[in-house]
Amino acid sequence: MREIVFDTETTGFDPKTGDRIVEIGCIELIDRVETGATYHAYFNPCRPMPPGAEAIHGLGDAFLANKPKFAEKARELLDFLGDAKLIAHNAPFDFGFLNAELGLCGHPIVSLDRMIDTIAIARTLHPGAKHSLDALCTRYGIDRSHRIKHGALLDAELLTQLYIELTGGRQIGFDIGVAAGAASSPSCATANAAARRYREPRPHHAGAAELARHAAFIATIDGALWNAGAA
């Protein structure tokens, strides 16, 4: 199953009042394991950056001035997303901005049927607790010490680890080659998974040639117990 974890940074809180996406970061999962494939882009919002928003993500007018407009990268982004489920923290916010941008440049919007909201999952698992990304990373022991300001790809990386924890934990990513002590590290499964290339599952039944080789091998064993009394 292919899923995309994504996050956006914006000029504000409401695309209906003219706010725009200025950054998007996406991470591909196959069966809840990172494949190493990512998508990341900055966009020129064609409007001034409010100081309050810049204080959160650090993306100012000078930095964004020479970046492409969303419309110039929309097709590339949609190709990466494909038809995968899309996972975000407070997903209605990110979906609202993504679909607003797609609508402005004439692309079909993304169906809300594809939306997975990690805040909704967290509220079910931990009612009454804090459900911010920072609070949940603390709850699950996910290292966010390198998160000084918000950044779309960085937040998507943290959210990927959180999503795995919220939906079953890291046993799905165990690497048999990892030492027992390393396997208990909160980040080792994701790190090892990211370094591996996804391969289609192998069939688990023996073919005719394998069965013939097995029969030939068995025939070379003298005095086999399973042949006792077969005469």
The catalytically annotated residue of 146, 150, 205, 214 is: 150
pLDDT in tens, 53-111: 999 999 999 999 999 999 999 999 999 999 999 999 999 999 999 999 999 999 999 99
In the three-class reduction of DSSP (H, G, I as helix; E, B as strand; rest coil), residue 190 is classed as: helix
Question: Pick from 230, 150, 153, 151: which is nearest to 194 by CA?
Answer: 153
Q: What is the pLDDT of residue 214?
A: 80
Domains and CATH numbers, the chain: 2-195 (3.30.420.10)
pLDDT for 227 equals 67
Q: Given this model, what pLDDT does residue 156 score?
A: 95
Mean pLDDT of 104-132: 96
The model's pTM is 0.72
CB 159 within 8 A of CB 147: no
146 among known catalytic residues: no
- Name the phi and psi angles at 225, rounded to 5: -60, -35
Q: In the predicted model, is pLDDT for residue 23 greater than 80?
A: yes
| Pairwise pLDDT comparison (190 vs 46), residue with the higher score | 46
DSSP tag of 18: T
